[in-house]
C-alpha cells in the first residue's frame, strides 16, 4: 500500500465532499470529488479517498448510483480520459481480486466443513493446503494491488505534472499573444508614420518643383531681358560704327577736295593752322577727333 501519510485537513474536506455527493445519489469518483472541492492534486485526492474507503467504506454506498451532472464535471482532456480509464481498470482489478479472494476463502471454508464431517485428518490437511493456496493467492493479489496502486499514483503524479505544464503553456501562450498584439500595433504605428512621412515628402517635392519652376521662369525672364538688352546694345554699336564709317568717308572726301588749294596757298611759318581756321573743316575734324 501507499506509504504516504494522510493529510487530516484534506481528509476531512474529501469526507465532506463524499457525503455530499452520496446524498445527491452520485457515486463519488476522483473527478466528482475534485470538482466538489474545487480542484486539487489527483494524487493527493486519490490517497485520501483510498484512506477513507479503508476506514469508512459505508460512506461510498449509493442506493441508486447515477452519473455526475454534466455541468459539474470540467471538460475532459486527453490526459483526463486516460486517467479516468486507468482508474476504472484499477478499480475493476481491485474488485475482481477481492471477489476472487472472498470466493476462494468461502470455498476453503466450505471444503473445510465438508471434509471435517467426513474425514477429519484428511480434511484438516486439505483445508491447510487450501488455506495455504488461498494465502498465497491473497499475497499475490496484495502485491499486484500494491503495484497497481503505485503505478496509479505515478499516473496521478504525471497527470498533475501535465496539468501544471498545461497551465504554464497557457500563460506563455497568453504572453506570446500579448507580445504579438504589441508588435502588430507597433507595425501599424510604423505604417501610419511612414504614410505621414510619404505625404510630407510628396508635399516637399511639390513645393520644390513649384519653387524650381518659378525660379526657372524668373531666370528665363532675366535671360530674355539680358538678351534683349544685349541685342539693343549691339544694334546701337553697329549704328555707331556705321555712322563713324560714314563720317570717315566724308572726312576723306573733304581732305581730297581741300588738298590742291592748300598746296597753292602760302603758309605762314610762325602759325600752325588749326582745323577751326579752315573753312568747312572744323565740324568734320571735331567729329573725327571725337570718334577717335
Q: pLDDT, tens digit, for every residue of 231-268?
A: 988 899 999 999 999 999 989 898 888 876 656 555 55
Torsion of CA 182, 187, 188, 190, to 10 degrees: 120
Residue 75 has pLDDT above 70, yes or no: no
User: Which of 13-22, 138-147, 231-240, 271-280 is least confident?
Assistant: 271-280
Angle at 215 (CA atoms; ends 224, 219), nearest 5 degrees: 20
Mean pLDDT of 21-48: 91
Residue 187: predicted pLDDT: 85
Structure-model confidence comparison of residues 77 and 101, the more confident one: 101
Structure-model confidence comparison of residues 79 and 221, the more confident one: 221
Residue 269: predicted pLDDT: 52
Mean pLDDT of 205-209: 90
**3-state SS track over 197-232:** HHHHHHHHHHHHHHHHHHHHHHHHHHHHHHHHHHHH
- Is the whole-model pTM more than 0.85? no
How far CA 270 is from CA of 265, 267, 274, 276, in Å, comes to 15, 9, 13, 17
The DSSP symbol for 292 reads -
pLDDT classification of 286: cutoffs 50, 70, 90: very low
pLDDT classification of 193: cutoffs 50, 70, 90: very high
Q: pLDDT, tens digit, for every residue of 81-131?
A: 666 677 777 777 777 776 777 687 777 777 777 766 666 665 567 768 888
Domains of the chain (ranges, CATH numbers) = 1-74 (1.10.10)
Nearest to 149 by CA among 50, 225, 38, 41: 50
Residue 292: predicted pLDDT: 45
User: Which of 65-79, 94-108, 212-226, 258-272 is least confident?
Assistant: 65-79
Instruction: Specify whether the CB–CB gap between 115 and 123 falls below 8 A.
Output: yes
Residue 16: predicted pLDDT: 95
- Please list, in sequence order, all residues whose beta carbon lies within 8 angstroms of the beta carbon of residue 176, skipping any fewer than 6 positions away: none
Q: What percent of the chain has pLDDT over 90?
A: 22
Residue 5: predicted pLDDT: 60
Q: Give the Cβ contact number of residue 46 at 10 Å.
A: 23
Angle at 216 (CA atoms; ends 211, 222), nearest 5 degrees: 130
Q: Is 40 left (phi over 0), alpha (psi -120 to 50) or beta?
A: left
Residue 65: predicted pLDDT: 47
Using only C-alpha atoms, the chain has a radius of gyration, in whole angstroms, of 65
Return the beta strands (E) in the chain as ranges: none
Residue 265: predicted pLDDT: 57
Report the SS3 class of residue 7.
Answer: coil
Mean pLDDT of 271-278: 49
Q: pLDDT, tens digit, for every residue of 137-188?
A: 888 888 887 787 778 777 877 877 887 888 888 888 888 888 988 889 888 8
Residue 86's DSSP bridge partners are none
Residue 148: predicted pLDDT: 77
Amino acid at each position: 500500500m501507499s506509504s504516504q501519510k494522510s493529510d487530516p485537513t484534506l481528509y476531512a474536506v474529501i469526507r465532506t465532499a463524499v457525503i455530499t455527493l452520496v446524498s445527491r445519489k452520485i457515486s463519488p469518483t476522483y473527478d466528482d470529488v475534485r470538482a466538489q472541492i474545487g480542484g486539487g492534486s489527483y494524487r493527493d485526492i486519490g490517497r485520501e479517498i483510498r484512506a477513507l474507503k479503508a476506514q469508512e467504506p459505508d460512506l461510498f454506498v449509493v442506493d441508486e448510483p447515477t452519473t455526475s451532472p454534466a455541468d459539474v464535471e470540467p471538460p475532459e482532456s486527453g490526459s483526463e480520459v486516460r486517467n479516468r480509464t486507468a482508474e476504472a481498470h484499477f478499480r475493476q482489478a481491485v474488485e475482481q481480486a477481492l471477489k476472487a479472494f472472498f470466493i476462494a476463502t468461502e470455498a476453503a471454508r466450505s471444503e473445510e466443513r465438508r471434509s471435517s464431517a467426513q474425514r477429519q485428518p484428511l480434511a484438516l490437511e486439505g483445508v491447510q493446503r487450501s488455506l495455504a493456496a488461498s494465502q498465497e493467492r491473497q499475497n499475490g493479489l496484495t502485491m499486484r494491488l500494491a503495484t497497481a496502486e503505485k503505478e496509479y499514483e505515478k499516473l496521478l503524479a504525471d497527470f498533475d505534472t501535465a496539468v501544471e505544464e498545461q497551465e504554464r503553456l497557457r500563460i506563455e501562450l497568453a504572453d506570446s499573444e500579448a507580445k504579438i498584439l504589441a508588435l502588430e500595433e507597433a507595425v501599424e504605428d510604423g505604417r501610419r508614420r511612414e504614410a505621414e512621412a510619404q505625404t510630407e515628402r510628396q508635399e516637399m517635392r511639390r513645393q520644390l518643383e513649384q519653387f524650381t519652376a518659378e525660379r526657372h521662369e524668373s531666370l528665363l525672364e532675366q535671360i530674355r531681358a539680358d538678351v534683349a538688352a544685349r541685342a539693343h546694345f549691339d544694334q546701337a554699336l553697329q549704328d555707331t560704327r556705321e555712322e563713324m564709317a560714314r563720317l570717315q568717308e566724308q572726312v576723306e572726301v573733304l581732305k581730297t577736295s581741300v588738298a590742291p588749294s592748300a598746296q597753292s596757298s602760302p603758309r605762314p611759318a610762325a602759325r600752325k593752322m588749326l582745323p577751326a581756321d579752315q573753312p568747312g573743316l572744323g565740324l568734320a575734324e571735331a567729329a573725327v577727333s571725337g570718334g577717335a
